[in-house]
Amino acid sequence: MKVFIVDDHVVVRAGLAALINGEADMTVVGEASDSAGAVRGIAESAPDIVLMDLQLGEGPDGVATIETVLAAPAPPAILVLTTYDSDADVVRAVEAGARGYLLKAGPPEELFTAIRAAARGEPVLSPAVADSMMRHLRQPRTTLTSREVEILRALARGDSNRAIAKRLFITEATVKTHLVHIYAKLDVDSRTAAVAAALERRLIRL
């Protein structure tokens, strides 16, 4: 099985590559630190499985990258491998088309089992993530777009509208429009209240 790794931390990529290349039936055929590199590298190396982190630094996040990769002809299976287990992250990734969702804190054996299962076309969720999905199904949460979640995370960091616009390559007017939508969905009227509501509902995490 050919595996491609997408993670913005070089040490994480190196560690994953060492683990995966130690398995007789797996080999790492490429890696990338951001969305653009991932889309380009996946197209060139044609992997069977992609391990995708959700936070990729500057540019589109992991969910947006999943959507782009899966829109191409004959796309690979994508497994999210991340530290984020909020309900919103899980639901967004699964809705985008990820075949599985794993946490980096899990043991290597769980990762290997997941890669093999995904290669067989089977869905994969770590136990903690499965619990999150069940919570969502029993009590549906507020639905935010990928961009709205990115902006909420920026608000939680204390970023200004100008900083958010620069980071996401959009205008300040667009940021303000997103904020209006976020406030309406969360039924709040300020940045502080929006962050508090998002944290309480597990839409983001610090």
What ranges do the domains of the chain cover? 2-137, 146-201
Separation between Cα atoms, residue 50 and residue 30, nearest integer Å: 10
CATH number of the structural domain 2-137: 3.40.50.2300
Say which amino acid occupies 143. T
> Which of 19-42 are b and which e, b meaning 16 or more Cβ less than 10 Å from the residue's Cβ?
ebeeeeebebbbbbbbbebbbebb
| CATH of segment(s) 146-201 | 1.10.10.10
Instruction: Report pLDDT for 57.
Output: 76
pLDDT at 15: 96
The pLDDT tens digits for 2-43 are 999 999 999 999 999 999 999 999 999 999 999 999 999 999
Among candidates 80, 91, 77, 69, which has minimal Cα distance to 140? 91
Q: Give me the percent of the chain exceeding a pLDDT of 70.
A: 92
Per-residue pLDDT tens digits for 132-157 = 666 655 555 567 888 999 999 999 99
Amino acid at 95: E
pTM of the model: 0.68
Identity of the residue numbered 126: S
Alpha carbons 160 and 71: distance in angstroms, whole number: 33
105-140: pLDDT as tens digits: 889 999 999 999 999 999 888 776 766 666 655 555
